[in-house]
Amino acid sequence: MFKTKGIHHISAIVGNPQENFDFYSGILGLRLVKKTVNFEDPGAYHLYFGNDKGSPGTIMTFFPWVKGFRGRVGTGQVGATSFAIPQGSMPFWEKRLHANQVLFNKRVRFGETYLSFDDPHGLQLELVEREEGARSEWPFNGGSPETAIKGFAGAVLLSSSPGHTMGLLRSGLGFEAAGKEGNYVRYRSEGELGNIIDVDVSERERGRMGTGTVHHIAFRAQDSAEQIEARAFIINKGYTVTPVKNRKYFQAIYFKEHGDILFEIATDPPGFLIDEELDHLGESLMLPDEYEDKREEIEASLIEIRMRETE
């Protein structure tokens, strides 16, 4: 049976790419580890943020739709995306969010305190202190390993059929049930980051895709062999799964789970060092080989992103 270590990446739709960079890099202190284009639509960016090394379990990716309409967070989507911060760093983050006029509130779930806030385009985010997970050594914009986001803590799923979604987490992806509290049912995987999925079982409106919403959530497979096994296993459970797609930095398969959330299974290798040195990750626009001869045209159609520090 397939047992994922946890979340590989989460991909969301947002607005202006400079605003996206300034928030995730400038305020949240994540590293832009890859600047590329949407492989299905090379006229638009695909931006990858993560820890200092761009490790699986730390990667938040964005499709900026400059003129996109606002989506609605609801069932059939990931609700909040949670990031893990080091123990004792919550006061630092409260101060930092406050200094940047980011409104937040504090919520307790399963005995853990979450700082909950939205990004500039309405995406729901959370910070929670976690002991597990390697510290990130990315020094950009005043970050330090004592406070820097380590990667994902987990995510909240808003399923249109929570029973089906929870069944798949357990018997399809190898998560273990880890308790129930109010409207939430918690699942845990073996990894150190991105290892907690909370399914929100409350009734709510259906989500609508657009800016400020998550497009899909990807779970980790350790290699292609494990991914191929997982694919057969999930097909056998009655899901329609895409063939393996080469995403250059990982191999991907996609399927709609029965609660209408788009799931992906992505391989850990080869990772983000396949086409850039560690010291220069994210600095250049990286294109898949088939678009290399259209580079000038593609670059002209993209808004330039200034990799600036913010106050």
> For binding to Zn ion (CB under 5 A), which residues are involved?
11, 218, 264
Rounded Cα–Cα distance for residues 61 and 12 (Å): 6
CB of 11 to Zn ion, least distance (A): 5
Rounded Cα–Cα distance for residues 79 and 201 (Å): 12
Residue 50: beta bridge partners? 31
Judged by CB, which is closer to Zn ion: 45, or 93? 45
CB of 266 to Zn ion, least distance (A): 6
Judged by CB, which is closer to Zn ion: 22, or 264? 264
CB of 261 to Zn ion, least distance (A): 13
96 φ, ψ (degrees, to nearest 5): -65, -45
Judged by CB, which is closer to Zn ion: 27, or 218? 218
- Strands 213-221 and 262-270, how do they pair? parallel
Judged by CB, which is closer to Zn ion: 115, or 218? 218
Altogether, the residues listed in the chain come to a count of 311
- Strands 213-221 and 176-181, how do they pair? unpaired
CB of 193 to Zn ion, least distance (A): 17
Q: Which residue shows structure tokens 């890099």? A: 25
> CB–CB of 116/126 below 8 Å?
yes
End-to-end Cα spacing for the chain = 49
CB of 58 to Zn ion, least distance (A): 14
Distance, CA of 227 to chain centre: 19
CB of 230 to Zn ion, least distance (A): 15
Judged by CB, which is closer to Zn ion: 12, or 158? 12
CB of 194 to Zn ion, least distance (A): 13
Judged by CB, which is closer to Zn ion: 218, or 230? 218
What DSSP letter does each residue of 256-308 carry, written as one string?
Answer: E-TTS-EEEEEEEEE-GGGSS-GGGTTSSB---GGGGGGHHHHHHHSPPPP--
3-state DSSP assignment of residue 36 = strand
Q: Which residue shows structure tokens 């049930």? A: 177
CB of 216 to Zn ion, least distance (A): 6
DSSP state of 207: P
Judged by CB, which is closer to Zn ion: 65, or 114? 65
> CB–CB of 224/237 below 8 Å?
no
Judged by CB, which is closer to Zn ion: 214, or 305? 214
